[in-house]
Amino acid sequence: METMDAAERRWKRAMDIRQQYARAQVMSLIDQQMAQDMMVEVWVDASSLGSSDYYADLPGVPAMFRDVPSLYQPWRDGWNRSAGLDEMAECISCNDGTGNPCFIHDR
Ligand SMILES: [Zn+2]
């Protein structure tokens, strides 16, 4: 059964990622390699949140990401990536039957 709506779920995911980021920062004082691995995970998660926020029609950067470029940049990348894919899905030239993206969307 669904107990949380999209905005609440999104808030919780964003908060988890923000905490993950804080833990990675603390880890950087102890173990650089481990901290780097954690940051990669944070980057991937923030990007995937941006992507699902696009589909959930939540256009604004999560409030707890706004002060952290390492969070809002991957979030924006994920959002833009999904927007780009969505645009390709609508593009006649991308869907001409060849299976190849058109010159505009081929990047
Ligand atoms: Zn296209």
The answer as to whether 50 is a domain residue is: yes
**Sequence-ordered list of residues with C-beta below 8 angstroms from that of 26, at least 6 positions apart, any chain:** none
The answer as to whether 83 is a domain residue is: yes
φ, ψ of residue 75 in degrees (nearest 5): -60, -50
Q: How far is the CA of 92 from the centre of ligand 1 (A)?
A: 7
The answer as to whether 61 is a domain residue is: yes
The answer as to whether 99 is a domain residue is: no
Please identify which residue in the block is written with the tokens 């470029």.
Answer: 69
Closest CA to 40 of 21, 53, 26, 27: 21
What is the 3-state composition of the chain as percent helix, strand, coil, each rounded to the nearest 5? 65, 0, 35
* Per-residue pLDDT at 54 exceeds 80: yes
Q: The domain containing residue 35 runs over which residues?
A: 6-90
Q: How far is the CA of 84 from the centre of ligand 1 (A)?
A: 9
pLDDT digits (tens, 9 = 90+) for 75-89: 999 999 999 999 999
Instruction: State the pLDDT at residue 15.
Output: 97
Closest CA to 62 of 3, 23, 27, 17: 17
Q: How far is the CA of 91 from the centre of ligand 1 (A)?
A: 5
The answer as to whether 15 is a domain residue is: yes
How many structural domains is the chain composed of?
Answer: 1
Closest CA to 59 of 86, 32, 23, 37: 86
pLDDT digits (tens, 9 = 90+) for 27-38: 999 999 999 999
Asked if residue 90 lies in contact with residue 42, where contact means CB atoms within 8 angstroms, the answer is no
The answer as to whether 14 is a domain residue is: yes
Q: How far is the CA of 62 from the centre of ligand 1 (A)?
A: 30
The answer as to whether 25 is a domain residue is: yes
Q: How far is the CA of 83 from the centre of ligand 1 (A)?
A: 12
Q: How far is the CA of 80 from the centre of ligand 1 (A)?
A: 15
The answer as to whether 30 is a domain residue is: yes
Candidate ranges 2-6, 21-25, 87-91; pick with highest mean pLDDT: 21-25
Q: How far is the CA of 104 from the centre of ligand 1 (A)?
A: 6
